Structure 1
């Protein structure tokens, strides 16, 4: 076997067993202490904002999977280099493995609330990887002996198998330690303030058109958590503290015992490009945040409420917004069931009219009343605006560019939103011609999106459809195209179609 190939395979096998064993150990020290997750989390926190936005634009809700996959690929290349160097000088291999361990330890210690136990997975993984690498390269560096080659490949296969067993076993054990069973045991209270019924005609039920109510399974997920926080409702508490007259601590049972309301609210991610799908409408059950804050009694000048997640993430919401009478909720239910774990179980914030990064704290454990002068939440130092009301937007869902259209009547339809202001008008135009007013469907309230439709007498050829919306204040959706950063994208959504 060629010397370079032997070294590369040895290095990759050693790295694989390190990751697999570390994954298993992390079952007992916390999922975020696994080196792959810890390093990935560090990258999420420190990658330049344009790269992060590129990942969201390219991979959407699969951005975390893409990050972890890319990290594994880079690690495999680094491991192959370590193995190749180790055949020339074993101390090169030792140094490379040590560097692997140091990076894992350092990344694990940067995770919020990390204790000394967080270093264990990386240390154990690096130590075993060093032994495995030494054993695999201890034979002849390059040989044509088929027996030696077979022995080496068998060793690599055994190591790879052990890595797979420990890694997959660790993942299996981790799934057994989730709070899914605790979530299934939650019995949600009946709302004292029921949501208005969805009016007839609110959902046009057209192919390709987003349904008026988004299912839990289809609801977008954008956050910084590479592993879902597992928050046990039995031990969960919410602290309302900071610049308040009466600090409050609530258990989950105490929260469920309070009067709750149900409201339909559409949430949107600030990373949503014009025409994007990082938006959804759901029925939320929760306690009005205004009531909780009124009990705590914010002091004068405390103009920001910082929501803090179990994983340390923070968002800053204007105190005034949470107390102005809108249906801002500390939510425990979503579409008639306890919050899904990926959407914040056991409790999260839901605030109409603000982008999620300044309002939609999931897995929430704290509400700290402070001021914008005193604290910058997670995304603000990374270049995003401290305050971010949702912009008026609209989208064409049907037809789409891949559709085969025939001349004659074609229904153009989509959704428009301007949460907490409401949509007054939607207009469509073809090939830059005059704007034509679309028909708005009914909606529950100004806090949800609205469907719209327009009948187009399509003619053969290639055409460009554009849409714009006007909110209830008379503000027209701006034509200027701007990226999501720093406070939401703008522009008119367009679709190019061909009519046969």
Structure 2
């Protein structure tokens, strides 16, 4: 099969797969966006892929890791679809079997997600059916090329050329009465030779025979456009029809896919969120003190905007949870099981607090951290109402999509501002940050505390249940480590000689920061100036004035928390319980 042949076959397979995925999206509008094949399979990949690959994706793509996963899954599917197209030309059943196999995978992935029902299989079934139909149309139906350039050549044997048979010279012809016998040694009559009637006749000379032999006649053309040599001669009109059909189907698939995504968004909860008016807190957050934000270029603001707040979770599509139908069930090792509605929470006395959240996947110097003003119900109050058993040392938060985190019960009842949050920076929670309700717990990494789209709190024991990340190699408990970061100047910045402000942030939630130190080129540690902060539950900005000299310099920072513990120089990866080490940047001064 030639390169051109494979390209046509691959295009047929890719078009079939695109139709399958694209058409499944509008169907998933009816069954839920998590049932779409690409999303369902991507969710299984997220759950099953080795932790090292997940961390690599976060390191490479940051908060765009989910988009990268969906794009990668789509490209992988396209590669297999191209292969199925090539196989289908050899035998149509091979290609159809490949499409069917992907349909089965999509169905299985959709049905194994948390909260799935039989209807979730519908997008994959419809998509696979239409994908198989398209493949048939291209390989055996009205859209196929005539002939396919990869069709096996029809052997054609050209007729043998007429060659005089070899053998003895035929006997001499009889002598005519009018002259010598034909073929005799006598001279042939010339044009002036008289006939018996005495009139001259023209004589045509014998046609010479080529020494190379007789001329071979042109090879006949086989039916369907193939020459006797087996080379395909594709009708241009047939090729145009094939390419036009594939283009139209690819465009239709793209429009259907994007349209399905758009419709899913329209069926979301943005309108319901916009209609919510949060009550004023009975205990407002303390005002941000003057000077808490140094307002320097490149320095992270003290309060992170909702739009700029990092997002790390396992949801490939943002769950759309209707606040009117939302319920929180608190159960397990409790004296009294309770269920709360969204209206129940808004009717309770709400408190407002600034809390800095950090992801355990945050590298030294990374930006997977943010500070916001949260509004919610103290979790301590809700737990007191259900009367936990004395041995219930873990509270398992369960998201609407089945994700779980395990929080120490003590951390939710020791007086810290652990909230069941309904608001963020003065507005209802953004949908991507857990609307309508999420958990916020100061001092713990998000993987053990920050359950978004929460629908259950189960009182249990660490000995009885491992939350989502624990079997994947992460620590059972995840207290946030003391960390600091240089925001300005950035690595490889070119500076001018003279005074330079070095600034950044430091954090040790629920303990607070006592001091920050900076050093240049492994010199003496210099104490930085700390800006004021709202509480020990937020990060703090710091700054230090440096008299820069020409050359390349290495800047380092370290922080000491309120307990007197200074962050370690020892470098550790984020797994299993958070990265350690001193943030270092290199700058050039001229």
TM-score in terms of structure 2 length: 0.84
Give the CA deviation at 1:91: 1.1
Is the contact made by 1:401 and 1:498 (CA closer than 8 Å) also made in structure 2?
Answer: no
1:249 match: secondary structure: strand
Deviations 1:382-418 (A, max 9, x none): 0101100000000000001242200110000000000
TM-aligned CA deviation for residue 98 of structure 1:
1.1
Alpha-carbon deviations, 1:184-234, whole Å to 9, x = none?
Answer: 111101000011110011000100000000000000000000000000000
* Cα displacement string for residues 8-32 of structure 1 (whole angstroms, at most 9, x for unaligned residues): 0000000000000111111111111
Pick the aligned partner of 1:141 from 145, 148, 151: 148
Deviation string 1:220-257 (CA, Å, 9 cap, x unpaired) is: 00000000000000000111111111111111111100
* Normalised TM-score (structure 1): 0.99
Question: Who is 1:155 aligned against?
Answer: 245
Aligned counterparts, 1:175-254, within 5 A:
175-254=265-344
Asked if the contact 2:148–2:234 (Cα under 8 Å) also holds between the matched residues in 1, the reply is: no
- Decide whether the 8 Å contact of 1:49 with 1:383 is kept in 2: yes
Aligned to 1:60: 62
CA contact (8 A) 2:492 2:585 kept: no
Match of 2:34 among 24, 32, 35: 32
Secondary structure, in 3 states, of the residue corresponding to 2:20?
A: helix
Matched residue, 1:373? 463
Show the counterpart of 2:261. Answer: 171
CA contact (8 A) 1:263 1:285 kept: yes
Whose Rg is larger?
A: 2
Q: Which whole-Å CA distance do the structure 1 matches of 2:437 and 2:396 have between them?
A: 15
Tell me the secondary structure at the aligned position of residue 2 of structure 1. helix
Query: Number of residue pairs matched?
Result: 500
Instruction: List runs of 5+ in structure 2 lacking aligned partners.
Output: 150-232
Moved over 4 A (4+): none
Unaligned runs of 5+ in 1: none
Aligned to 2:194: none
- RMSD of equivalent CA atoms: 0.9
Does the aligned pair in 1 maintain the 2:513–2:560 contact within 8 Å? yes
| Deviation at residue 6 of structure 1 after TM alignment | 1.2
- For residues 148 and 472 of structure 2, the distance between their equivalents in structure 1, rounded to whole angstroms, comes to 48
Q: 1:51, 1:96 → 2: CA distance?
A: 27
User: What SS class does the counterpart of residue 148 from structure 1 fall into?
Assistant: helix
Are the equivalent residues in 1 in contact too, given 2:291–2:531 (CA < 8 A)? yes
Greater mean alpha carbon deviation, residues 70-79 or residues 264-273: 70-79
Match of 1:473 in 2: 563
**Matched residue, 1:76:** 78
Select the residue among 112, 118, 121 that pairs with 1:119.
Answer: 121
1:441·1:451 contact (CA, 8 Å) conserved in 2? yes
Q: Which residue of 2 aligns with 1:109?
A: 111
> Higher helix proportion, which one?
1
Query: After superposition, what is the alpha-carbon deviation per residue over 1:156-193, rounded to whole angstroms, capped at 9, x for unaligned?
Result: 01211221221122112111101000001111010000
For the residue of structure 2 that corresponds to 1:415, the secondary structure is: strand
Q: Aligned runs of 1:339-418 on 2, under 5 Å?
A: 339-418=429-508
The 8 Å contact of residues 263 and 283 in structure 1, kept in 2 or not, is answered as yes
In structure 2, C-alpha distance between the alignment counterparts of 1:367 and 1:484, rounded to whole Å:
27
Shift of 1:154: 1.1
Q: 2:22 — aligned with what?
A: 20
Question: Are 1:438 and 2:515 matched, yes or no?
Answer: no
SS of residue matched to 1:4: helix
Take 1:464 and 1:448, find their aligned partners in 2: how far apart are those partners?
A: 28
Distance 1:135 1:195 in 2: 65
Query: Which of 376, 380, 386 is equivalent to 1:296?
Result: 386
Higher relative contact order (CA 8 A, sep 6+): 1
For residues 89-115 of structure 1, what are the alpha-carbon distances to aligned partners after superposition, in whole Å with 9 as ceiling and x for unaligned?
A: 111111111111111111111211111
